[in-house]
Amino acid sequence: MMNATVEIRDRIEPLVADWERLAQHNEASPFLWPGWFDALWRAVGAGRLQILTAYQDGRFAGVLPLYRSRGTLNSLTNPHTPLFSFLAANERAAEQLTQALFSQRAHRIDLSFLRSADTGISSVHLAADAAHYRVLTKSRQAGPIIAIDGTSWDAYESGLGRNLRKDLRRRRRRLEEEGRLTLEVSDGTERLDELLEEGLRIEGLGWKNTEGTSINSSPVTRRFYTEVARWAAERGWLRLAFLRLDGQALAFDYCFEHNRVHYALKTGYDPAYENFSPGKVLRHMMILRTFSEGLATYDFLGFSDPWKQKWTNVQQEQLSQQELVSLRMFAPTARGFLDREVYVSGRLAVEGAKRLALNPVFGERGYHMLRRGYRTVRARLGR
């Protein structure tokens, strides 16, 4: 009979060797490797790490990186996380992790950015039912992909919308009339700091800096992307791409490539050249590159924004099945019940205020309701 145990660790470093072997064996995305979580925790970590590790007959069989803060057990994720998952050698290991998840006596458990096809989700629901936790699910359609294997570049390009193809030809022609247009892709083995500085400056130009969503707008966010770039560069996964006009950077992509998948993490362009659509031209050239390099998939990551959908060659029916799921689970206790009520009522209040804010008749009223809703929820949660 198999000896199955779960241990709880508060540090990533001692687990790296076993964790990386399991990630390699499972062909896991870079976002499930210990280096990604280590960079994230060192940059933005708060609370304390609580990493669940499953063992079978003494062998490392699964890991679920979590952290505890104010009595809530959270997946080690934040808004910059592309996806999260249970990393397990087999179904039994995933079951071990989910059973241990609900044995921690947390009044609330939050798991975010799970892919809807993740087998761990069904295990979580079963374990939550057994522990009498109430589960609230929120999902959004995930960013699309481009399926490259078995598809020629000509077939892919001809499948793009007629208006998109026409606009691409026109924009690129206009740029080439201005000077020498080039695509530069670096793996970070040389001039990494210099290229990052240049790229992050481009990424933050325009509306991102204004709204505070750029990498450079927050020191901790900048630290995270800098550290994770160094980690990825050491493994040959980093790709920093620039669209240049006579050497001047017009657009920038921050990407990973691993296991024949291209992951598009961040992008930006210089708004001074907005009339030339440099971001669109860069996207076209980078997708062509993935075909030329013999990769299998181009993954836009994040959520399914309309501009991303224009590039995919995957049928809408298949795209609709790819969702990013967040699970909010509340303990069968007075504190768990209170947290659930605050979460539900606060979310409904905020969503209602958003609808009012978008209504031109009630815009001012909706704005103030939105602010009150956020303040009320934060006050009740003690944040």
Same domain for 14 and 76, yes or no, is: yes
Same domain for 166 and 304, yes or no, is: yes
pLDDT of residue 211: 72
Residue 185 placed within a domain: yes
**Phi and psi of 67, rounded to 5°?**
-145, 150
User: How far is residue 293's CA from residue 314's CA, in Å, rounded to a whole number?
Assistant: 20
What average pLDDT does the segment 366-376 reach? 52
Same domain for 169 and 301, yes or no, is: yes
Same domain for 226 and 339, yes or no, is: no
Encode pLDDT of 90-139 as tens digits: 999 999 999 999 998 899 999 999 988 887 898 899 999 999 999 999 99
**C-alpha 111, offset from chain centre:** 13
Q: In the structure, what pLDDT confidence band is assigned to residue 296 with cuts at 50, 70 and 90?
A: very high
Query: Across the chain, what does the average pLDDT equal?
Result: 89
Tell whether the model's pLDDT for residue 227 goes beyond 50: yes
Same domain for 158 and 297, yes or no, is: yes
Number of domains in the chain: 3
Q: Which of 289, 304, 332 is the last residue of a domain?
A: 332
Tell whether the model's pLDDT for residue 319 goes beyond 50: yes
Residue 44 placed within a domain: yes
pLDDT of residue 161: 96
Encode pLDDT of 40-98 as tens digits: 999 988 889 999 999 999 999 999 999 999 889 999 999 889 999 999 999 999 999 99
pLDDT of residue 348: 53
Q: Which of 313, 343, 359 is the last residue of a domain?
A: 313
Same domain for 72 and 129, yes or no, is: yes
Same domain for 8 and 134, yes or no, is: yes
Residue 203 placed within a domain: yes
Same domain for 152 and 136, yes or no, is: no
What average pLDDT does the segment 369-374 reach? 53
Residue 318 placed within a domain: no
Same domain for 261 and 294, yes or no, is: yes
User: How far is residue 120's CA from residue 94's CA, in Å, rounded to a whole number?
Assistant: 6
**C-alpha dihedral over 265, 190, 193, 80, to 10 degrees?**
20
Residue 380 placed within a domain: yes
Same domain for 293 and 172, yes or no, is: yes
> What percent of the chain is predicted at pLDDT more than 90?
75
Angle at the Cα of 296 (from 302 to 168), degrees rounded to 5? 65
Contact between 76 and 66 under an 8 Å Cβ cutoff? The reply is yes
Residue 76 placed within a domain: yes
Residue 128 placed within a domain: yes
Tell whether the model's pLDDT for residue 354 goes beyond 60: no
* 39-48, 140-149, 281-290, 337-346: least confident range: 337-346
Same domain for 17 and 123, yes or no, is: yes
Contact between 329 and 107 under an 8 Å Cβ cutoff? The reply is no
Encode pLDDT of 235-267 as tens digits: 999 999 999 999 999 999 999 999 999 999 999
* CATH number of residue 194's parent domain: 3.40.630.30
Q: Find the domain containing 273 and state its range.
A: 145-313
Same domain for 340 and 328, yes or no, is: no
